[in-house]
A and B are shown apart, each in its own frame.
Chain A
Amino acid sequence: TQLLEQSPQFLSIQEGENLTVYCNSSSVFSSLQWYRQEPGEGPVLLVTVVTGGEVKKLKRLTFQFGDARKDSSLHITAAQTGDTGLYLCAAFANTGNQFYFGTGTSLTVIP
């Protein structure tokens, strides 16, 4: 079983549309990260959220950490073709003493 479940797994939208990606868990985390990965490259860190209820904005991207620090969402406004990629959430869990990654959301933005 996955510690972090992401949804949807695949998303294909038109340029200019909005979208939300979810990352859910039954575990509580002290922090959670979102990454974007392009084919053949390593994941690039987008944001780290630390406080329950925290909202962080990065241009057209809005990240939210759930009040209970078990879940997070990534919202993209007016998607652009450059947003295409694999979005991964990740968190460090004391159980197992390692980072866990979500299943990933593959986003394709069509011009």
Chain B
Amino acid sequence: KAGVTQTPRYLIKTRGQQVTLSCSPISGHRSVSWYQQTPGQGLQFLFEYFSETQRNKGNFPGRFSGRQFSNSRSEMNVSTLELGDSALYLCASRQQSTDTQYFGPGTRLTVL
């Protein structure tokens, strides 16, 4: 079975721009979660989508948004980028039966 895939792997943007990241979960997994990872804050939960609905949301500003499509693929959007948004953005798909998450390789976003 193919793992979780994320595109692109690397992105460089400037302040004020917006960005869209994409994630394809493991086949059969309907839950997709997004995390932001920085050296200072560790892994922080952004949101989770299940069957095209946002099921849970972390403590991030409204500039961070997401959506999920009928094939379970998910996108995350960050608008009006700030320097502090530079981070590794990780997507994870969840196996419901064991409450286990499997991560993609991440998208490294650098905001200049």
Interface residues of A (CB under 8 A from B): 30-31, 33, 35, 40-45, 48, 50, 88, 90, 92, 96-101, 103-104
18 contacts between A and B (CB under 8 A): A30-B99, A31-B100, A41-B106, A42-B4, A42-B103, A42-B106, A43-B103, A45-B100, A45-B101, A45-B103, A48-B100, A50-B98, A92-B99, A96-B56, A97-B55, A97-B56, A99-B101, A103-B42
* A90 to B, closest residue via Cβ: B101
* Dominant secondary structure at the B interface: strand
* B interface residue numbers (CB < 8 A to A): 4, 6, 33, 42-43, 45, 48, 55-56, 58, 88, 90, 92, 98-106, 108
CB neighbours of A104 from chain B (8 A):
42-43
Out of B43, B45, B102, name the residue touching A45 (CB < 8 Å): B102
Assembled-state Cα–Cα distance A92/B103 (Å): 15
Given contacts A31-B98, A33-B101, A42-B106, contact A88 B56 (CB under 8 A): no
Q: How far is the CB of A33 from chain B (nearest CB, A)?
A: 6
- Which of A33, A42, A45, A99 contacts B33, CB < 8 Å? A99
| Residues of chain A with a CB closer than 8 A to B33's CB | 98-99
Contact check, B100 vs A41: say whether CB atoms are below 8 A apart: no
Residues in A with CB closer than 8 Å to B4 are 42
Least CB distance, A107 to chain B, in whole angstroms: 16
CA–CA, A48 and B95, complex, Å: 12
Q: Which B residues are CB-close (under 8 A) to A90?
A: 101
* Docked CA distance A94–B51 (Å): 19
Chain A nearest Cβ from B56, distance in angstroms: 5
Contacts of A31 in B (CB 8 A): 98-100
